[in-house]
Amino acid sequence: MRFFTTVVAVLSSVSLYVGTTWALHESDVGVVDWHKHMVGIPLSGSISTSPSFHLVNGKNIILTATTNNVLAALEPEDGSIIWRYIFDPEDRIAGYYKNATTVATLSGPGGAILRNFNALTGELLLEKRLHKPEIGALSEPLHLGKDVVFAPHSNQMYVLSNGCTISCIDGSTGEVIWSWTSPDQGSMVIHAKLTLSQSTLFATGFAKSTASFTLHATSLSLPTGELNTFVNIPSALADPLHQFILLTRPDLEKPIAIWLEQGAFRYVALTPDLLEKPRSVKGEGFARLVDIGLSEFGYAVVLRNDESSFVMRLEGMVGQAKPVWEFDDSKASEANADSRYAGVLDAHGRAHVSRVYWSHHHEKGAFDVFTAGQPHGFSTGAKTFAFNTKDHGIIGHVAVGVPDSAPIHLITTSTGSVQLWEQETLKWEREESLAAVVIAEFVEVPERATSVAGVMEEAQEGFVARVIRQIGDAQDFPRYLVNFVKRFATGSYASPSSPPPPPPTTSNSSEPEPFSRDTFGFRQLIIAATAFGKVYAIDSSTGTIVWSRVLGLGWAGQVGGRVQPVKVFVVKGVSEGGDVEVVLVAQRRASNTLVDTVAFHVNALTGSDVLGKSPDGEVLEGQDVIEGPLVEGYLLGGEKKVIVMFDEHLQVYLYPSNPSTIDYFSSVAHKLSFPLRTTIETRKRITGHQIQLSSDHHKSLAYPTWTLTLPLGEDVQAMIPQAKSGVPVASVGKVLGNRTTLYKYLDERLFVLLTVVNTPPPPPPATGSTPEDKPQPKPSHSQKCGIYVVDGAKGTVVYHAEVKAPGTPGANGKGGGCQVKAAFSENWLVYHYYEDEVEGGSVGGSKGYRMVSVEFYEGRKGDEKIMSSELTAYSNDTLNLSTYEQAYVFPYAITALATTSTKFGITSKDLIVATNNHRVQSFARRMLDPRRPNRKTTADEQEEFLIQYDPLLPNDPRRVLSHNYDVANVQKIITSPSLLESTSLVFAFGLDMFLTRVAPSNTFDVLSENFNKVQLVLTVTGLAAAILSF
């Protein structure tokens, strides 16, 4: 016995240092994993954030700010990312401003932070905070009241922030040379735009008057920032954002402010003394002035009331603006949709203005590019391009570039696709809505189907025919034999680290072969639904998009609206045979505030509508399920897969709803229970529900059975269900070194509840307080975060912990609040939080992130068994459990976490986290074992492979799954079993997409990579030869 334990101890220590590292080889990069770099959907709301072409030192790049708060530069040749800079979520980009070689941005409240980037490399040259975020004025739209202009011959820039402060800043050091704040700040004037002339800086803005806006102009002395004068120009603008523009030309001295007043043009030239009087131009019926990014070169587009448009140019020394080109056929009509306008200056300094629209008549996109020249310029005339509106929605924004002589268009669509069209051909496209994926789910796919038709034929043929066919086939035998020997001797078998097999090619038939899995089940489909009304199926082995469908709006198509995906359910899996089907449950929010719940039922392999309503290639229309919002939805996974949904009145809706599913539901309804969050008289509660079947034609109703009332001031932050995904629990217990068994406390109904506790500042006489509730030294530390594990059928609190929320939010509004992240799987709970408390903190009083690992076992000690997995919720034994927990110092803040899952659940579960330094990393379960002893391990513990407790979790870079990839802003991680028990697929999405495989206990079920087949064959032949020869 003694000998045995020593051997085990030695073995365990050896295996600790040898066996734990499962790591990537450099050659595996791109083979076992893939990564999609994204930038997000361009913000097309304003000219200062929307995509534009920019010529830097003779190189054309595309610049854009995006909805994911990223500033990016794209390569016009192939659409790759040249660089991107990811801003913090609190630090919203208000606009980017281009110079010959640099790009400046203003971001944060009121444009609090100025940054300057090298336009070609994205290097951050300058970061300067202009004012405290707290005093930042919020503006709607965000870009209003912010502007940057660059001094033409020096490194200085003039920055307008907060709508009232103008600073002159040195572009390399960030030194403020001068600063001027509007004296009547807080009044009704908001400055909007800066313009430079010889020695004067003009700031134009709007002053709110009773019914409209008045134009306001300020003139500052350029070298010193002294106020020359300011004036309210007599004017009445109804819509200052769309009816005002400031035009300048490099060769003209005076900037001209142009605006529309009751459909007529008025303009005023700006001089340092601001004494010029506004004048009117004859003619009326003008509706809008469109800034096409050429206002510094004197161009703008004017729309009349009937939507017909023309290009306007600032002309001559008098400073008048004149129409130079009228776009043909631009009137609003049945044949064409609304036009988008864009402008650009080419390398020769010629202006190009493009009009792009959707032609209902041709069912194609159309563009018309005007090129300025003498005397009036010329246009390409309307040309069409094959824009696919059924796949990409409508044209939302257009940018034009002229790298050579031919114009190229960058189109952003309503579904988030970014496309570059060179004349009539599509050069590249980026599906940027994948950076806005809301939900994603792995779907297993069937094996490659052997041709059913062939088998049928063989069954029907006669004897003679069969013999003839087989003789014919026998011709191939020698070749087969040669191949067999060759494969036997040298051939490689499918290996987990071999590159993904090429997608099934169309061998002879024109029909594409259905999507099928590979040997190890690494090829699955990821069904991902985006916030922009599109659903994608992504090949998990390569990351290519297999199919995508635009989600239809149904009746709301008339009024507009959007579809917000809520859940994805696999209603027909591989095991049930036939096609794999998924249902996407979404909420449709129509623009008239009506909310409906819609189900989209598709074939997961092809994306075709199972209901047969919408043909392939068209917009996918769903089926309205609930006339109202969805409160909760579940999939019943028994013999029939039925989706159960509840509306606001907790009425039950089934999908699909037919007699057989209704019967099935009524047979299992009494067993169902589910928790919901409710608020009764400002007290937050979690209420458990069961279902009352209706005997008549009314809908079945859910009724409350239990409530968990949270203490006053405690608010529910999140309810996290158990990570199940149909993975079985392989072992129900754990045998300890002393030969007793700890049985896992397994309860499928358990869920995790995260709360925020806003305790009011403690009153001086602390009534009924526990010693922990001592009056805090800092009143700001009154927020706590609660972590509960609750039984969903009875409301029993199995585990409860409270951690202090980190102190007051920082200057940028970040930090503070409860940022607890938790994952729960089987009997294992892990949660991550920030420990700010210096005095008496749990891990040696040190600040930092903590990862707490909690395990639940049946009974109070070993060998107690209550069969928790089969226990009814009403048993008295539900609380007969013991909890083991241990806190570890964690090196990073995290954005998401998940545990791995494997086919049979035998492999140990690793923890996968996405850190805030853009990595996806795995942590071994063994390191997170809460039973790690606080002293030297005994022989018994060594036998269990327990390691001595060390507060610091090892941060092994070789466990960084995402290695060199920059996987930014991961929102969620999902894992899926593959057909290999050892291997789990890990998919992380957020801004970027990343998929890899992990083998937490090494790949024990495949040949190791250093298995040498040649050696084996040689040995066998050698032995055979030896036996034969003797």
Residues of this chain that bind another protein (CB under 8 A)? 21, 23-27, 85-86, 88, 115, 118, 121, 123-127, 129, 132, 181, 183, 227, 806-807, 809-812, 814-816, 819, 834, 836, 838-839, 843-849, 889, 891, 893, 916-919, 951-952, 957-958, 960, 963-964, 966, 1009-1010, 1012, 1015-1016, 1019, 1022-1023, 1026, 1030
Asked whether the beta carbons of 87 and 70 are under 8 A apart, the reply is yes
What minimum distance in Å lies between the beta carbon of 1026 and another protein?
6
Q: What is the β-pairing status of strands 714-721 and 673-680?
A: unpaired
Asked whether the beta carbons of 212 and 185 are under 8 A apart, the reply is no
Based on CB atoms, which residue is closest to another protein, 486 or 958?
958
Asked whether the beta carbons of 97 and 151 are under 8 A apart, the reply is no
Based on CB atoms, which residue is closest to another protein, 162 or 336?
162
Based on CB atoms, which residue is closest to another protein, 203 or 269?
203
List CB contacts of 37: < 8 A, sequence separation 6 or more: 81, 84, 966, 992
Based on CB atoms, which residue is closest to another protein, 750 or 822?
822
Based on CB atoms, which residue is closest to another protein, 89 or 638?
89
What minimum distance in Å lies between the beta carbon of 832 and another protein?
11
Based on CB atoms, which residue is closest to another protein, 88 or 315?
88
DSSP run (H or E) holding 911:
strand 911-915
Based on CB atoms, which residue is closest to another protein, 33 or 647?
33
Nearest to 828 by CA among 724, 972, 982: 724
Based on CB atoms, which residue is closest to another protein, 687 or 895?
895
Based on CB atoms, which residue is closest to another protein, 298 or 930?
930
What minimum distance in Å lies between the beta carbon of 838 and another protein?
5
What minimum distance in Å lies between the beta carbon of 135 and another protein?
9
Based on CB atoms, which residue is closest to another protein, 856 or 965?
965
Residue ranges of alpha helices (H) inside 883-1012 are: 939-943
Identity of the residue numbered 451: S
DSSP run (H or E) holding 268:
strand 264-269
What minimum distance in Å lies between the beta carbon of 816 and another protein?
7
Angle between helix axes 1013-1029 and 477-489 (nearest 10 degrees) is: 100
What minimum distance in Å lies between the beta carbon of 963 and another protein?
4
What minimum distance in Å lies between the beta carbon of 1017 and another protein?
12
Nearest to 699 by CA among 668, 747, 665: 665
* DSSP secondary structure string for all residues of 235-254: EEES-TTTSEEEE--TT-SS
What minimum distance in Å lies between the beta carbon of 930 and another protein?
17
What minimum distance in Å lies between the beta carbon of 124 and another protein?
5
DSSP label at residue 467: H
Q: Can you give the three-state secondary structure of 759-784, one letter per residue?
A: CCCCCCCCCCCCHHHCCCCCHHHHEE
Write the Ramachandran bin of 84: left for phi over 0, alpha for psi from -120 to 50, otherwise beta: beta
Distance set, CA 752 to CA 233, 637, 786, 832 (Å):
61, 21, 10, 13
Nearest to 669 by CA among 700, 636, 691: 691
What minimum distance in Å lies between the beta carbon of 474 and another protein?
38
Based on CB atoms, which residue is closest to another protein, 355 or 832?
832
Other beta carbons less than 10 A from residue 157's beta carbon: 22
**What token pair was written down for 345?**
């200056």
Identity of the residue numbered 606: T
What minimum distance in Å lies between the beta carbon of 607 and another protein?
36
What minimum distance in Å lies between the beta carbon of 973 and another protein?
18
Based on CB atoms, which residue is closest to another protein, 809 or 859?
809
CA–CA dist 852, 832 (Å, integer): 6
Based on CB atoms, which residue is closest to another protein, 130 or 398?
130
CA–CA dist 647, 655 (Å, integer): 13
Distance set, CA 929 to CA 28, 800, 910, 916, 947 (Å):
30, 19, 11, 24, 9
What minimum distance in Å lies between the beta carbon of 737 and another protein?
28
Asked whether the beta carbons of 114 and 102 are under 8 A apart, the reply is no
What minimum distance in Å lies between the beta carbon of 824 and another protein?
23
* The Cα angle at residue 472 between residues 470 and 473, in degrees rounded to 5: 65
Based on CB atoms, which residue is closest to another protein, 335 or 1023?
1023
Based on CB atoms, which residue is closest to another protein, 28 or 632?
28
Q: What is the β-pairing status of strands 395-401 and 383-385?
A: unpaired
- As a dihedral over the C-alpha atoms of residue 402, residue 403, residue 408, residue 410, rounded to 10 degrees, the angle is -100
- Give me the sign of the Cα torsion angle 120, 126, 127, 129: negative
Asked whether the beta carbons of 206 and 237 are under 8 A apart, the reply is yes
The half-sphere exposure of 534 on its side-chain side, counting CA atoms within 13 A, is 28
What minimum distance in Å lies between the beta carbon of 97 and another protein?
18
